[in-house]
Structure 1
Amino acid sequence: MTTGAATRESYYERTGGHRYKPTAHAGGAWNTDEQHFSPLAGLVVHAIDGHLARRPEPLALARISYDILGRIALDECEITVETVRPGRTIELLEATVVIGGRPVVRARAWLLATLDSSAVADSPHDRLPAPEELGVWAMDDEWDGGYVSSIEVRRTPPTRRGRTAAWVSSPVALVAGEPSSALASYVALVDTANGIAVQQDPTAWMFPNLDLTIHLHRQPRGPWTGLDTTVTFGPSGQGLTSSVLHDADGPVGHAEQILTVRPVT
């Protein structure tokens, strides 16, 4: 794969002011004619970054929650962003992803003003081993799709089902010919969590997530997204993927994904 600035491949190509066409690299793990949600989540943050570029005073994204409303076809999408609750120090945005005239994702993002709280900064979570200390895991041996084939994963050997830690990176640009923020590129890899610590063989059981909620206590930096992940299956068709999020400097926040667990038929 070519990674030079002039020919770098991408997950999306902009086709209009708010419209984007996915490339084959955005192909899903459950169905290859659908989009994997991970790069689309990053694309939503990219659209939010564009919306916020007009603000005179920057705000930091502290939480973003995505609701997946239906099938996300590997087709052109339109993303609109509107301000729900304006404010100088606290603001709420809503982004909507539409494909074929139908909303497929709605996301809400809380933004906060930044101030110096370094004197009391602390987290009880231990740092992950550095990416170079872990072995490469060929995730595409277990999962299909263009997205999974596009990423590099370094994972701790699982000690039991549903529990592992991993680092994820990608040489693929988010949007062709456009710079993306460190946050958008970081978020574009978070949804990978549901596939790195599987509870059951995905050829026997399906467990797609219906949402993704990310809380951040610090703005992350790349190029690696760290996922300290636990996957729990309940007895009545629900599951939960929970991750402590890391970058090279340590923990940055948490991510949660609710799962619908059902046998493959």
Structure 2
Amino acid sequence: MQNEPFFQRDGILYVPQPIARGPWNPQSLHGRVIAGLLGHALEEAFGEPDFVPARLTVDMFKLPGFDPIEVRTALVRQGGRIKVAEAEFISGGVSMAKASCQFLRRTEAPEGRVYGPGNWDVPKPEDITPPDYGPMGRMWATRPIKGGFNDPNDVRQTWMAEVREIVGGMPLTPFQRVAVACDFVSPFAHVSDKGLGYINSDVTLYLHRLPVGEWIGFEKTDHQAAEGIAVGECRLYDEQGPIGFASCAALGQKRPPPPPPTKA
């Protein structure tokens, strides 16, 4: 990819690049790059062709700054059908996030028909005019289908594609593509007509298959909140149909005020 990656590798460390900046603090990283890097490290260490990374859970308990990152991985269990691994995100010598991933071996599907949402009948990404991006939107590419961040309509659907590598020089795999995108469940599920007032403390990605192609479809399915605590969920698709869903927990959070204008 031609765009600047989120991280550059320096030995065992990952050096955050300016594009990895998050929306809540100009000196901190975006949640999506935390999830993406942990997913990248887990797949690199433990991925196998016969296993699907069916669940990735990332707990984000502190906003990391731009210090070089160390990711420590560990195998929790290796079985014939189930493998579980963990990864820890360490910034400035402090643990900032942890992830666990469950890999399931591909097998023969049982007989019978089970109800599911089926495919969604929406325009293809190439048939949708690209929107004018705000500053954060340049981290990715989107093709909005229905609803939007300031739309009171609760039906929200969009396509999203990654436009940069997680780690420079390492092309995105299908799993890494959706791992770095899945944090989008928080703003897409929790944004209101007054803007985004929740910061997510975790994200969980469930996949029954890996995505095909570069576009991931998001469809908001739920938002619930009380006393400043929210949970949200989105179904996920590729152009061939459903691939799984993502969910998150979040806390009420005020955005920092914009910096004062500079005098000429």
The TM-score normalised by the length of structure 2 is 0.85
Structure 1 residue ranges, 4+ long, deviating more than 6 angstroms after superposition: none
Give me the CA root mean square deviation.
2.4
1:157 aligns to what? 146
1:37 aligns with 2:31: yes
Q: Do the aligned residues in 1 keep the contact of 2:24 with 2:255 (CA within 8 Å)? A: no
Alpha-carbon separation, structure 2, partners of 1:111 and 1:128: 30
Distance 1:228 1:136 in 2: 18
Asked if residue 131 in structure 1 is aligned to residue 125 in structure 2, the reply is yes
For the pair 1:256 / 2:251, whether they are aligned, the reply is: no
- Indicate conservation of the 8 Å contact 1:183/1:220, yes or no: yes
1:194 to 181, 186, 199: 186
Secondary structure of 2:156's counterpart equals strand
Are residue 15 (structure 1) and residue 24 (structure 2) matched?
A: no
**For residues 109 and 199 of structure 1, what CA distance do their matches in structure 2 show?**
31
In structure 1, distance between residues paired with 2:199 and 2:246: 15
* Structure-1 separation of matches of 2:104 and 2:25: 37
In the alignment, is the contact (CA less than 8 A) between 1:185 and 1:222 conserved in 2? no
State the distance in 2 between where 1:182 and 1:99 align. 26
Q: Given the superposition, is the C-alpha separation of residues 161 and 22 from structure 1 closer, same or farther in structure 2, using an over 3 Å criterion?
A: farther
CA change 1:115–1:121 in 2 (3 A) is farther
Deviates more, 1:125-134 or 1:98-107: 125-134
1:221 aligns with 212
Is residue 162–residue 199 contact of structure 1 (8 Å, CA) maintained in 2? no
Equivalent pairs: percent with the same residue? Answer: 24
Residue 48 (structure 1) aligned with residue 42 (structure 2)? yes
Match of 1:242 in 2: 233
| Residue from 98, 113, 128 that aligns with 1:106 | 98
Q: Which runs of 5+ in 2 are unaligned?
A: 257-264
Of 19, 22, 28, 1:25 maps to 19
The alpha carbon displacement at 1:262 in A equals 4.3
- The structural deviation recorded for 1:51 is 0.8
Report the Cα distance in structure 2 between the residues aligned to 1:243 and 1:199, rounded to whole angstroms.
Answer: 16
Matches of 2:100 and 2:30, distance apart in 1: 20
* 1:230 CA displacement: 4.0
Superposition deviation, residue 114 in structure 1: 0.7
CA distance in 2 between counterparts of 1:139 and 1:211 reads 26
Any stretches of 5+ residues in structure 1 without a counterpart? Answer: none
**Using the alignment, how far apart are the partners of 1:189 and 1:156 within structure 2?**
17
Task: Report how far residue 217 of structure 1 moved.
Answer: 1.1
